[in-house]
Amino acid sequence: MAGAECCSNPPTLNPNAGIGHVEKFAGLDSYLTGSSHSNLAVLLISDVFGYEAPNLRKLADKIAASGYYVVVPDFFYGEPYDPQNPNRPIGEWLKDHGTDKGFEDAKPVVEALKSKGISAIGAVGFCWGAKVVVELAKPKLIQVAVLLHPSFVTVEDISAVDIPIGILGAELDQISPPELIKKFEEVLKAKPWVDSYVKVVPNVAHGWTVRYDPQDSKAVKDAEEAHQFVLDWFAKHLK
């Protein structure tokens, strides 16, 4: 389930991107932005390219501007996937950076947020990160979830979620194709007590919400529409 699309359009990483700052948070280098006095937090869990992706940090700042304390941890310990490294193909890289490890590393982040007085936590997962968000959602370690072009997420995963969850999939996606996203929708519709929103976005490819070209006006528009959905979902549910 980690194919070429997982690795397409790699961002040019920039450790100085964004208006926030990097410091240790729950033992992980993390990009922090927004008011540390807010009692609502949002956790952004990246795709395989990690937390230094400029578009990801730009979205973190946008979410923070709506009043949330936003944390973007480096779950890869300084070793995001590098498509230029022939010695570390994606399959090998994932052996050291599996989503199960990401989930274990995310738990202390959630605990650290709660210890700061945060009363509710939302999480957004992109590709690889979507699986980690689902694992956090199952035991209700978070209160609100958003999955954007998920990877590794199964129907069984979605069946186990009982918190508000929004899922945006890409029409042009072989990793989580529209048929799978529609199965997610069927499962969630069978649970009317769970507020959910599921959409297959037309004419976009896997990774469109964070791996877009800022010079491409259509790509930017498509990404910003997804970003607005995230903001609206949190405005509705993260309280």
Q: Taking the domains of the chain in order of start, what are their residue ranges?
A: 4-237
CA distance 123 to 106: 11
Q: 4-237, which class in CATH?
A: alpha beta
In this prediction, residue 5 has a pLDDT band, given cuts at 50, 70 and 90, of low
pLDDT of residue 1: 44
CA distance 46 to 48: 7
DSSP state of 12: -
Model confidence pLDDT, tens digit, residues 19-59: 999 999 999 999 999 999 999 999 999 999 999 999 999 99
Give yes or no for a contact between 165 and 153, defined as CB atoms under 8 angstroms apart: no
Task: Quote the pTM value.
Answer: 0.97
